[in-house]
Structure 1
Amino acid sequence: MGPRRRRARISAPTLVALAMGVGLIVLSRLLASAQSPPRPGSLRTVLWDFPQTPVGPMRAVVMLPTGAPQGARLPLLLALHGWGETLRGVERGAFGWSRDYELGASDRELRMRSLRREAFLGHVDEGRFQQLRRDLAARPYRGVVVVAPFTPDVLGADAGTLQSGFDRWVVETLVPRARRELPVLADRAATGIDGVSLGGLHSLEIGLAHPEVFGVVGALQPAVRGRIDRVLSRYVPSPSRPPQRVRLVTSRGDVYRRDVSALDAAMRARGIAHDLRVVAGPHDYVFNRGPGGVEMLLFHDRALRGMPAE
């Protein structure tokens, strides 16, 4: 037998150095992302703080179009952010749509003379792009007032209590204040709710439960996995129930695509009128900043004015 080979061992200092190296690489990428300049936008923001609500202190970020005609009243859209921003807490998380998703940049892109591919950050099919471009040329985008509240986590064990409290606060406090203080149309037909991922789940539950408040309900990549029955239970059929425009949006790279398709089938089986659109993009920030923001704003710009979506 030959001499026994000694196993190569990595010393503790070397392991520490490797870990530090990997950490520095990750940190440098995070810093590079954080230092990327935000795209210019066309929405100015106002903060609303609510020290006491049924779910604790809350904050909402109001986004107003900078170029709106003097005295004009616009439709009202409540936009709810995703779970990542929920983890950041009330003060920072409420800026999800305005800062992290750059909704003002999407608004600005829609106001340009001709829609650009850059608005979608590389995630748009050619057919969809040309369709929206033609539609905007024929019917210029006019915009909406957006109110984006902090979105609490309703995916945990105390979801029922949080959801009911948040639902009550949105309907009884947030929407009435928006109608009193903002240049918005104060009727249900011109009031919409939408959101992405966790926010999409919220928008479906609140919107479907309150047709007397919301004439339009949308959901982008809603986190409905294991919660389809919960969403359906919010829709109570009645001969006197006001009609609603409801739209589900998923994408080919959406982790919830199968779940959204299952919800679509379940809603059709129950006769709940709605539309489903499948677009390009992943379940990630680039979707929210690109196709998600564009699709949401353009849909509500049309639907809240009683116009065909496209």
Structure 2
Amino acid sequence: MRTTRRGFLIGASAAAWTFGTTRRAEAGGTTDLGAPDLDVRDLDLPGDRALGRRMTLSIPRGLDPTKAPAPLLVLLHGLGETGDERMGAYAWLERYGLATAFARLGRPPVVRTSKRLDFTDEHLRAVNEELARTPFRGFVIACPYTPNVNKAANPKAALDGYARWIAEVVVPRARREAHVATDVARTALDGCSLGGYVALEVFSRRPETFGAIGVVQTAIGAHRAAGYADRLAAIVTAHGARGVHVETSTTDPFRAANEALSAELTKRNVPHDAVVLPGPHDQPWLREVGTLEMLRWHDRRFRGLSVRNP
């Protein structure tokens, strides 16, 4: 049964942000979407219709409220799902392999699920050896709708409003819904393609909210790499160390930009992890290896472990 939806614009008062709706999805409750390890909540949130009012929250089953709270990862989706809030909120779960990657990591050994060799034999061995040493723990994952800010009349203002919504609505709601950590070190942000670009912009505006920023095949031009590296370096200087992850693939059209971002971060002595995996810029690549590697990186960082790239 749904409660009354309270929709407010981004400029509404802070008090208004505390309300929202949990949509009990098609099955009449939380859904599994083929995800044996996750309870998925479909949430309506107050916000600006043009920027976002919906997210899914994936909570590991068996999360014990008597133990230490789980870390939180906020994930932003790509351009293809910006046309519909429902499609966007479910993009990682239904299209990018989030649920299956979570299950594969939690039930090793990881095996190849595609005939393509996006996951090489050597990479599989390395991942499974690492999981044998240090099993995957998992964390709570918030997947809010991500708008195509480039279509806004004023993209800068749209990014300002969206960053405010993520920091002041999405993250607090996730913390109320689940047994989630409230410290910056265990709160992270990541995004794929357009979502990687938006994640960089959100992180640059609200660095006090997140202890790490990741991008997967981020859709930026190589000419913008130096500017983003400058902003990340300034954040580290002003706010302290932050985890940074840059993930791309061999035939990703944005590979050069992602590699340029890594190179510019290195020039500025910003510690980060960068990886180039085999494969194209598409959803099958995400489902096979891209999403799994992104989750694995965050899991290890949340636990203070070094990340071994393949």
TM-score (normalised: structure 2): 0.80
Aligned to 1:131: 126
1:96 is aligned to 2:65: no
- 1:174 deviates by 1.3
* CA spacing shift, 1:90–1:237, aligned 2, 3 Å: closer
1:260 is aligned to 2:255: no
1:137-188 Cα deviation digits (max 9, x unpaired): 0100010100000011133463212111101111122112222331111111
Name the Cα RMSD after superposition: 2.3
The structure 2 residue matched to 1:290, chosen from 288, 301, 304, is 288
Cα distance in 2 for residues equivalent to 1:208 and 1:51: 23
* CA spacing shift, 1:250–1:56, aligned 2, 3 Å: closer
1:43-68 Cα deviation digits (max 9, x unpaired): 22101112433845510110111243
Aligned to 2:71: 75
Cα distance in 2 for residues equivalent to 1:134 and 1:238: 32
The gaps in structure 1 that reach 5 residues or longer are 1-37
Whether the 8 Å contact between 1:60 and 1:149 is mirrored in structure 2 is yes
1:84 is aligned to 2:72: no
Cα distance in 1 for residues equivalent to 2:46 and 2:204: 28
Letter of the aligned partner of 1:296 in structure 2?
Answer: M
* CA spacing shift, 1:57–1:151, aligned 2, 3 Å: closer
Aligned length: 272
The gaps in structure 2 that reach 5 residues or longer are 1-32
Residues 144-293 of structure 1 mapped to structure 2, 5 A cutoff:
144-156=139-151, 158-225=154-221, 227-228=224-225, 231-232=228-229, 234-235=231-232, 236-237=234-235, 239-293=237-291
Cα distance in 2 for residues equivalent to 1:205 and 1:121: 33
Aligned to 1:34: none
* CA spacing shift, 1:222–1:183, aligned 2, 3 Å: same
Whether the 8 Å contact between 1:41 and 1:107 is mirrored in structure 2 is no
Whether the 8 Å contact between 1:39 and 1:102 is mirrored in structure 2 is no
Residues 47-58 of structure 1 mapped to structure 2, 5 A cutoff:
47-53=42-48, 55-58=50-53
Aligned-residue sequence identity (percent) comes to 33
1:114 is aligned to 2:109: yes
* CA spacing shift, 1:248–1:113, aligned 2, 3 Å: closer
Letter of the aligned partner of 2:209 in structure 1?
Answer: V
* CA spacing shift, 1:194–1:56, aligned 2, 3 Å: closer
TM-score (normalised: structure 1): 0.80
1:209-265 Cα deviation digits (max 9, x unpaired): 433211111110000125435534643356442210101001012110011112222
Whether the 8 Å contact between 2:163 and 2:205 is mirrored in structure 1 is no
Whether the 8 Å contact between 1:54 and 1:165 is mirrored in structure 2 is no
- 1:42 deviates by 2.4
- 1:121 deviates by 6.5
